[in-house]
Structure 1
Amino acid sequence: MRRLFPFLCLLLLFAGKVQAADLLSSIVEVQARIPGDARTAESLGSARTGSGMVIAEGRAVLTVGYVILEADAVTLRTADGRQVPGEIMAYDHETGFGLVRPMRDLGVPALELGDSSQLKERDRVLIAGHGGSAAAQPALVTSRRTFAGYWEYLLENAIFTSPPYENFAGAALIDQGGRLVGVGSLIVGDAVPGLGVPGNMFIPVEALLPILEPLMETGRSPQPPRPWLGLQLDEERGRLFVRRVSPDSPADLAGLKRDDLVLGIGGTPTATLADFYRALWRAGEPGSIATIQVLDGLTARPVEVRTGNRYRYLKLNRTY
């Protein structure tokens, strides 16, 4: 009965609108191999697995970017066990999406992209990873709000859901019309702000639609890259602490270190990650100087950092 439960919920959710088996077959497993010398091998691992959704008439598989970041080999596996090699089409840090091109026909239908901007609190949705009906779970949208990640990442209008879905990396968020409206990114402890309700954060496909064709054609968004520091920050009670400094990054070269207390940037006090990132990205393009105020004893000490380009720092294009 436990195995049938997600499938029964799915049928109730999409009754009369889509064929459940076809919908779930569009979700494949994404296996990525990352070389040991990759910048993200230590933090994210050298063997990564997630889910991905077949889109664009079968020409691409959409997943969360960190699954395939710096990979030199990608394999796609369908629910019936068919394995097809893939090559990385695109990685877009600003949104968090990744695209893989199947090297052969996967033999499954493509998912239709929905309008995630219409998704609101209390809407019923389905979360599904690779693995068919056993990997499907009904959920509710609990919040739409800005999400700031410690890895210099800011996502507007992120989708939060509950209850939590364990295999969230690249999982599909599907609306009541059977359309893809989000891609799984994280498990969180605050799916409902201020209440400590666990759940997941999904990247809305509304962030993908304006850049999908350029990503598929060139591997890059048409938006200019943002200045990058290589600084991971924790936000704690209105203060920002350095969590980690990426080796050989602009922040590392400028002398910033773990546990530094960051007060602001460019003369602007910053109490939240979102405030800090917005002030940083207003400072200019990669190569510009960002002046970061760090607490040194009882006074603020300015640290000048020549910002960099994240895409040049990472070891990309392994499978192009």
Structure 2
Amino acid sequence: MPGYWSQMLNLQSQKFWLQSRPSSMKIFTFLCLLLITLNGHTMTAQTDENNTQLSNAVNSQILLSSIASSVQITSRAVENASSARTLGKVRQGSGVVIGSDGLILTIGYLVLETEQIEIRTHQQKTYPAQVVAYDQATGFGLIKSLVPLQGVEPVKLGKLNDQKIDSSLLVVSSGNLAFTSPTKLIDVRSFTGYWEYHLDSAIYTSPPVVNHSGAGLFNAKGELIGIGSLFMQDVMPAGNPFGLAGNMFVPVELLEPILNNMLQNGMGPNSQRAWLGINAVERQGRIQIVRVTPESPAQLAGVVPGQWLLGLNGKPLESLSAFYKQLWAIPINSEPAKLTIFDGKEIYQIPVPVVDRSANIKKPAGI
């Protein structure tokens, strides 16, 4: 749809113009342009019932409500946090207010081993906050403002199955109109990350949003359906010959079954699971280890980057996701996991102690 993409380029230039010197007139102009872009996109697909709904439903009130529920988050890693090596000591992203008590849903990057959290609302007011919970399985993080938020209403949570492929959605970052972008639903499928992470269901969108960490993904009704996790070079399904850059969002539907556990225990029910400290990718139909976390069970056992992972406890591995699922089925503190390793010359086994990942995460005081 050339018309849609040309509108997107125009919208991006207007966003830079807005950031340079925001004013009431600029904000009004950008808001009108955003509405035109969304509505113009939907009119090019008259047969798409969901897009027609978006064209009729999206209005300035929904947009402003989505922006008002979003906040900017700045966090600092706790002292000696191992995650600081890869994620940084100071992290910045977004979150979405989901509770009238100031509860904010975000992504793990912003809460893992962090403290000294500050949030900034759409009114440019800053508030101190603290980590409430981190769920290893989904990657969700929860923080809470330490004082009542002013001018911020909690958002409603939506259902992913109400959305159709190619439907128009809205990404809101940092509670800032200048970081608000229309996007499209490209696919819903599983996602497997190299850092011992897997989702059976993830949301893939395009065009890509740079400020994706913790950004809210909203539907036509202004309901939150996803939390931003990653930028990806290609969000198209496997086997598709055309690459398309975009983002991966974690569906908020994964939150409801674990929310009470997170609030009560500081983690989800599946956060306590086996962890080795291996980063791996699939290459040439096999699994290759690309990084080993310092002082992790894998490193202490002698696993090194470059090795190929062929099996676990005597069973061959068909995929990276299969490896994770077999690993997580092993009871914590049980017998060591036996990794079948190929180093390019010979095949052998390395026993690696099975430890609880959540027990190895440094937490700020009070959680």
Give TM-score scaled by structure 1 length: 0.94
Question: Can you list the C-alpha shifts for 1:144-189, whole angstroms capped at 9, x where unaligned?
Answer: 1110001100011100001101100000010111100000000112
> Aligned partner of 2:298: which letter?
A
Q: Are 2:34 and 1:6 equivalent residues in the alignment?
A: yes
Task: Give the corresponding residue for 1:180.
Answer: 224
1:112 paired residue among 156, 168, 183: 156
Q: 2:190 — aligned with what?
A: 146
Question: Which residue pairs with 2:324 in the alignment?
Answer: 277
Matches of 1:130 and 1:7 in 2, distance apart? Answer: 19
- Does the aligned pair in 2 maintain the 1:231–1:245 contact within 8 Å? yes
Among 146, 157, 178, which residue is 2:201 paired with?
157
Q: Which residue of 1 aligns with 2:336?
A: 289
Matching residue within 300, 304, 315 for 1:253: 300
- 2:243 equivalent to 1:199: no
Gaps of at least 5 residues in structure 1 are none
Bigger fraction of residues in strand: 1
Structure 1 residues 113-163: Cα deviation after superposition (integer angstroms, max 9, x where no partner): 111243342122111101432211111111111100011000111000011
Note the alpha carbon deviations across 1:18-52, whole angstroms, 9 max, x for none.
53222211100010011351111111000000000
Give the SS at the match of 2:202: strand
Q: Between Structure 1 and Structure 2, how many residues are aligned?
A: 320
SS in structure 1 at match of 2:235: strand
Between 1:21-30 and 1:209-218, the stretch displaced more is 209-218
Say if 1:7 and 1:134, in contact at 8 Å, map to a contact too.
no
Question: Match for 2:185: what amino acid?
Answer: V
Per the alignment, residue 354 of structure 2 pairs with 307
- Range with greater deviation from structure 2 (23-32 or 274-283): 274-283
Give every structure 1 segment of 4 or more consecutive aligned residues whose post-TM-superposition deviation is greater than 6 Å: none
Residue 266 (structure 2) aligns with: 219
Which region of structure 1 is more displaced relative to structure 2, 186-195 or 1-10? 1-10
The answer (yes or no) to whether the contact 2:172–2:217 under 8 Å persists in 1 is: yes
Identity among equivalent positions (%) equals: 35
Letter in 2 for 1:138: P
More helix by share: 2
Which residue in the other structure is 1:59 paired with? 102
Aligned-pair CA distance for 1:281: 1.7
Larger Rg over CA atoms: 2
Higher relative contact order (CA 8 A, sep 6+): 1
| Corresponding residue to 1:265 among 302, 308, 312 | 312
Per the alignment, residue 212 of structure 2 pairs with 168
Query: In the alignment, what sits opposite 1:130?
Result: 174
Q: TM-score, normalised by structure 2?
A: 0.82
- Give the equivalent residue in structure 2 for 1:28: 71
